[in-house]
Amino acid sequence: MKSIADEISLLITTYNNPNFLDIVLKSVLAQRVLPKEVIIADDGSGQPTHELIQQYQKIFPVPLLHAWIPDEGFRASKVRNVAVAQSSGQYIVMIDGDIVIGPTFIQDHRMLMKPGRFVTGSRARLMQKATEALCRKKTHHVSFWNPGLRRRLVLLRIPFMHYLIKGNSGTKRARSCNLGVWRTDYIKVNGFEEKFIGWGFEDWEFVQRLYNIGLVRKNAKMLAPAIHLFHPYKNASRAEINEQMLHHTRESKKTRAEIGIDQYL
């Protein structure tokens, strides 16, 4: 019987990619320490994703919840808020539906969670042919020596080295694909800003508001390894508008989302 981190809810965003979600869920099942629950934040996926989640719900050793919203375009901010509102853990660990996590991922985030800070992690990149091969095999296993792997040093887990490497500051490489935050802090900043629609900068803006309430960033260097599966880039037509909203949050020291999680609590 595996141990369970009763404090942690794992949130996985997804949209119409059951092949990736299947691999990601397999990597969750392989955790040495499981989260207390897994919540699929589903931005409007169709029936194949629903059926996959139902299959996994039958075998998952912890609750597997499905937070779904209708498909109205890229609404990652909204679906994260809906999912977190359904969570029961004290601490939220977020990944995207294209992130395969190493077996110590939850264990490492549990070690890093401390009041007054949030945690950001890195991810290696699996290139297109290697990702396609992984999907054909339907496996989550990726080794350090896997062909087609970029930024493979991210997969090195050396806990004592973690304390010697500071990592990035500000919003640089602070992405929601590997992010840990206390639920109370998430609610304090009113979650993700739902004025962000389309791809781009909604996670940086969220992190900036965490800074604006006085939290400290901790980088999970040499811990919590993860791998990003290849996919074509999202439609970035809203990126410029979204970046302007990020700049406004920095300059105004904004702390709360105007349209946020409070509407679902």
Total domains in the fold of the chain: 1
Mean pLDDT score of the chain, rounded to an integer? 93
187/190 Cα distance (integer angstroms): 5
- What's residue 173's pLDDT? 63
Q: What Å distances lie between residue 203 and 65, 117, 171, 207, CA to CA? A: 22, 16, 9, 6
- What's residue 163's pLDDT? 74
159/30 Cα distance (integer angstroms): 20
pLDDT at 128 over 70: yes
- Comparing CA positions, the residue from 223, 49, 229 lying closest to residue 139 is 229
pLDDT at 236 over 90: no
Looking up tokens 């990702």, which residue turns up? 131
pLDDT at 164 over 80: no
Q: Are strands 226-228 and 99-101 parallel, antiparallel or unpaired?
A: antiparallel
What DSSP assignment string belongs to 136-201?
HHT-----TT-TTEESGGGG---HHHHTT-----TTTT--TTEEEEEHHHHHHTTSS-TT--SSSS
Q: Classify 82 as helix, strand or coil.
A: helix
CATH of the domain at 207: 3.90.550.10
Q: What is the DSSP letter of 8?
A: E
Listed as own residue / partner, the contacts of 206-209 with beta carbons closer than 8 Å and 24 or more positions apart are: 206/77, 206/176, 207/118, 207/120, 207/171, 207/174, 207/179, 208/171, 208/246, 208/249, 208/250, 209/249, 209/254, 209/255, 209/256, 209/257
Domain hosting residue 77, numbered range: 3-264
* Percent of the chain residues topping a pLDDT of 90: 82
Record the pTM.
0.95
Residue type, 121: G
Q: What Å distances lie between residue 102 and 28, 156, 258, CA to CA? A: 8, 10, 35
pLDDT digits (tens, 9 = 90+) for 9-36: 999 999 999 999 999 999 999 999 999 9
Cβ pair 30, 140 in contact under 8 A: yes
Cβ pair 130, 146 in contact under 8 A: yes
Strand (E) or helix (H) holding 203: helix 202-212
Mean pLDDT score, 45-65:
98
